[in-house]
A and B are shown apart, each in its own frame.
Chain A
Amino acid sequence: MSEAASKPAPVGRLRVAIHAVDLTRRSALSRVVAEAGHVVVGAQDAADVVLADRDCPPGETRPVVVLGGIGHDLPGVLSRDADASQIDAAIRAVAAGLVVRLPEAMDTGFGAMREADSQALLTPRELEVLAALAEGMTNKAIARRLNISLHTVKFHVESLFRKLGARTRTEAVAKASERRRYETITL
């Protein structure tokens, strides 16, 4: 048993056991956890939370956050490319007895094919502007990237707001990503 595990972690600092088959992945996750101020402990040590890559270790009874996990009953599920702040927030929440899910997971279930609203379809140019908005670019930067005038960028942004029913840039990005889930098909 490592020394870190033998004594309880200070308040706000969690003992986290990491379960990942891939060694590179394991060390990357250890770094994220350590940089968030937590203590990485061995797989068998006393831990407040388990952070697992892809699969929940069989028979695991401690609170667990699974990256890329599937299963209704897991306490915490994040995507495999979750960022450091999401991982930190998830392990804290799960350790406190809460359940963590991605927004997409709230709308699973076997559903109908939805037709896109033909009046509100975005144009290819609007999608480019949207991608730039998602990166947090200013209108000026967008104009430069797409090689169009500032006036045209403003025109596209307004049109995006109207079609998406959004009032702010953040809201436009969020609504567009929500819609993309329904308006995308694979053939």
Chain B
Amino acid sequence: MTDQPDLLAQFSSALAARAEAAKNAIVAIRLAHGRHITGMVWRSGLVVTSEQSLPRSDEFELVAAGGSVVTARITGRDPSTNIAILRPAEQLASPSIAAGEAHTGAMALAIGADGTGGVSARLGLVNLAGAEWHSSRGGLIDRRIVLDISLAQREEGGPILDAAGACLGMSTFGPRGRVIAIPTTTVERIVPLLLKDGRIARGWLGVALQAVAVPDALRESADQSGGLMVMSVVEDGPAARAGIVAGDIILSVDGVSAHRFRRIAGYFGSDSIGRKADLRLIRSGKVITVQTTIAERPAHE
């Protein structure tokens, strides 16, 4: 009689082996109160993690595979794509990372750090693999990857692996605690930029804007039905220097309509810094044009 392979047992052992192998691919990043989050060991020994959950500090302690503790400095952070990178004081062995392609319905294995040098694992499916999207902070994420995996806060920032062991992305929390992945492609795109400058530069006017309807009486002269009303102006910012005041309704910037957030936010990429911009706006019932120079968004804004 031939040995009947027990498929379920094989499947289970394969998963356990994957999780065990992934322990060199992650670190725990220690936070206050005995908490931690997870970081992915990236190429050239860097550590990539979830920006939104990393406190504003320059230095962190990492717990690497096997439990050794290494200090690491923040090398760059980008809230717009939720990516932060740290450089450990001692070089960590960097695993080989293959970028995987997410497919709806495919299996996904989420790896987290247990805080003592080991791993924790979660299994689920890619709930949805969709098109590129823009974050509320204005960053471009190459694909929408939603997972049907529940994650503990300490596991955020770890890799999501597919059945072949390729990395689909970094796990993080979306709105309402939903678990999503920042695609490997996005990490690959952002890390070199962060290594160079420590941040992703963005253009800045120094205003908070709320979408409003253009009053009926002004629709015709404004030639659009919506705009962005200035709610507050940052002191000494580009908008303040151009005389922009709260209550002004911005209709367009250099002819780019301020009607859609995405379009207008897209106009303020790093290439916009230093550019002179014509702002078409409604002030005291009249449509006027004001010129200002787009500055670079300060780190704290």
- The chain A residues found within 8 Å of chain B, CB to CB, are 56, 58, 70-73, 106-116, 118, 121-125, 127, 180, 182-187
Contacts and interface: CB of A to CB of B under 8 A. Distances in A.
B127 to A, nearest CB: 15
Contacts of B210: 127, 180, 183-184
B213 interface: yes
B261 A116 contact: yes
B229 A113 contact: no
A109 B174 contact: yes
A124 B247 contact: yes
Contacts, number: 113
Given A109-B177, A111-B135, A116-B226, A187 B209 contact: yes
Contacts of B264: 185, 187
B176 A127 contact: no
Q: When A and B form their complex, which 4 residue pairs have the shortest distance between CB atoms, in order from nearest?
A: A116-B211, A121-B213, A111-B175, A109-B175
A173 to B, nearest CB: 15
Nearest to B228: A185
A70 B35 CA distance: 13
Contacts of A70: 55
Contacts of A121: 211-213, 225-226
Interface in B29-65: 31-33, 35, 50, 52-53, 55
Contacts of B31: 71
B180 A185 contact: no
Nearest to B172: A110
Nearest to B294: A187
A58 B52 CA distance: 21
Nearest to A59: B33
Given A124-B247, A186-B209, A187-B264, A114 B215 contact: no
A109 B203 CA distance: 24
Contacts of A125: 215
B8 to A, nearest CB: 35
A118 B225 CA distance: 8
11 contacts: A71-B31, A71-B55, A73-B35, A112-B135, A121-B225, A122-B212, A123-B214, A127-B210, A182-B136, A185-B208, A186-B207
B56 to A, nearest CB: 9
Nearest to A58: B32
Given A185-B261, A186-B207, A186-B301, A109 B229 contact: no
B176 A124 contact: no
B211 A183 contact: yes
Interface in B74-126: 82
Given A127-B212, A187-B205, A109 B268 contact: no
B66 to A, nearest CB: 26
A112 B215 contact: no
Interface string B256-281: 00011110110010000000000000
A109 B259 contact: no
B27 interface: no
B196 to A, nearest CB: 23
A187 B212 contact: no
B21 interface: no
A127 B229 contact: yes
B225 A111 contact: no
Contacts of B174: 109-111
Interface string B169-182: 00011111110101
B33 A73 contact: yes
A42 B121 CA distance: 44
Interface string B210-249: 1111110000000001101101000000000000000101
A109 to B, nearest CB: 4
B229 A124 contact: yes
A186 B265 CA distance: 9
A54 to B, nearest CB: 12
